[in-house]
Amino acid sequence: MFCVLTSNQVRMNCLNLISTDPFFNLAAEEYLFMNRTEDFLILSINDPSVIIGKHQVAHRESDTRFVTENNIPVIRRISGGGTVYHDHGNVNFCFILNSTGGTQVDFRKYSQPVIEFLGSLRINAVLEGKNDLKVDGLKISGNAEHIYRERVLHHGTLLFDTDLQRLRRSLRKDTSGYVTRAIASNPSHVTNIKERTSGIRDACEFREIMLGYFLGSEGNIKTDLTNSEEKLIETLAETRYRTWEWNYAYGPEYALNNSFEIGNCNYTCNISVQDGIIREFELEGSGPLAQTGINLSGTRHMPEEMLRTFNQKKINISGEDIFKFF
């Protein structure tokens, strides 16, 4: 029914994650990748979240103000590549497969089964560039990979009925103020698959159809997590994926050079950040904020912590203005 991923018949365990917790679901992928030896297909739907690549700067990729004010978490994954937005209209797929050293990184090979599944729905998707699936030139899927020994993790998104306005607002449009060696995302025009289907109500039904498609291949079986696995995965979610140290501090060092206005006064701010901590802070301008000589070195480059430091120094700055330092 679908493209065989190796020269031999692949027997995949097909796992349909019931959880919509992006922290848990990312941890589940890593746990099965690192601790099991079987091949897996994992399907999931996440609560609204911004998922960044392993080597990216969280604030450069996300619109810090929008995600903060809308309680949208920014979460780092173990694979490289660019930033994607998840919500209840997006289906995530993950292949975890045993592979031969030297031939593991192959986006075309691991995207082909998804392309063929979409083809079964009369959706003509193609792989463009390194890791994007597109329909009529519009992106419907971003893919990323991670290799560990003789196993490959290939995962991606499928925009079925995602809130595209929130997607766009969650991602930072102007990144020119950030100077860093971090991997940059490659923005693309996107579209939803639902516009090209009929009779599929929502992403949940689309996921069930996708699961049934892969279960229709000889040898593939449906599987579930055990109670003990769920506990171990939740521990991994707590100790890695829910932590500031992983999501913000892990990324490469960066500098932010920004000019803005507060209280009808113009300012220029230069911030250097390493391991998520402000190492150098320079604020210039003719207004009272610059005249205080405020220095935020040693503070986490996070809105709530910077605002707290300003308040501790008896410097009045609004919760809205704090986002001008991002």
Number of domains in the chain: 2
Residues of the chain with pLDDT under 50: 1-9
Q: Provide the domain limits for residue 316.
A: 254-325
Last residue of a domain, one of 247, 281, 297: 247
Collapsing DSSP to helix, strand or coil, 226 comes out as coil
Give the position of tokens 């998840």. 86
Give the position of tokens 């995962």. 155
75 and 183 share one domain: yes
192 and 143 share one domain: yes
pLDDT for the residue 131: 85
54 and 178 share one domain: yes
70 and 121 share one domain: yes
Task: Answer yes or no: are the C-beta atoms of 31 and 236 closer than 8 Å.
Answer: yes
Last residue of a domain, one of 211, 231, 247: 247
Last residue of a domain, one of 200, 220, 247: 247
Collapsing DSSP to helix, strand or coil, 303 comes out as helix
In a domain, 6, yes or no: no
pLDDT for the residue 204: 98
258 and 139 share one domain: no
pLDDT for the residue 187: 86
Segment 252-269, tens digit of pLDDT? 999 999 999 998 999 999
User: Which token pair is 158?
Assistant: 């499928």
Strand-pairing partners, residue 158, are 91
In a domain, 5, yes or no: no
Strands 254-262, 265-274: pairing kind: antiparallel
In a domain, 2, yes or no: no
User: What one-character DSSP code corresponds to residue 279?
Assistant: E
pLDDT for the residue 107: 82
For 10-31, b/e burial (b = at least 16 CB within 10 A) is bebbbbbbebbbbbbbbbbbbb
- Closest residue by Cα to residue 32 from 144, 152, 145: 152
Query: What number of residues does the chain have?
Result: 326
The CATH number given to whatever domain includes residue 119 is 3.30.930.10
109 and 219 share one domain: yes
User: What one-character DSSP code corresponds to residue 300?
Assistant: B
Report CA 258 to chain centroid distance, whole Å.
25
86 and 171 share one domain: yes
Distances (CA, A) of 200 to 18, 40, 117: 19, 25, 15
pLDDT for the residue 11: 86
pLDDT for the residue 57: 98
In a domain, 258, yes or no: yes
295 and 156 share one domain: no
125 and 179 share one domain: yes
Rounded distance between C-alpha atoms, residue 224 and residue 51, angstroms: 24
How many degrees, rounded to 5, is the angle at CA 130 between CA 128 and CA 133? 40
pTM for this model (two decimals) = 0.93
Q: How far apart are the first and last CA of the chain?
A: 49
pLDDT for the residue 106: 78
In a domain, 44, yes or no: yes
- Closest residue by Cα to residue 93 from 127, 39, 45, 37: 45
Collapsing DSSP to helix, strand or coil, 183 comes out as coil
Non-local (6+) Cβ contacts of 24 within 8 A are: 233, 234, 237, 241
pLDDT for the residue 110: 86
Instruction: Tell me how crowded residue 274 is: count the other CB atoms within 10 A of its CB.
Output: 15
Task: Answer yes or no: are the C-beta atoms of 183 and 80 closer than 8 Å.
Answer: yes
Rounded distance between C-alpha atoms, residue 310 and residue 194, angstroms: 47
pLDDT for the residue 157: 96
Task: Answer yes or no: are the C-beta atoms of 73 and 50 closer than 8 Å.
Answer: yes
The CATH number given to whatever domain includes residue 289 is 3.30.390.50
Strand-pairing partners, residue 262, are 265
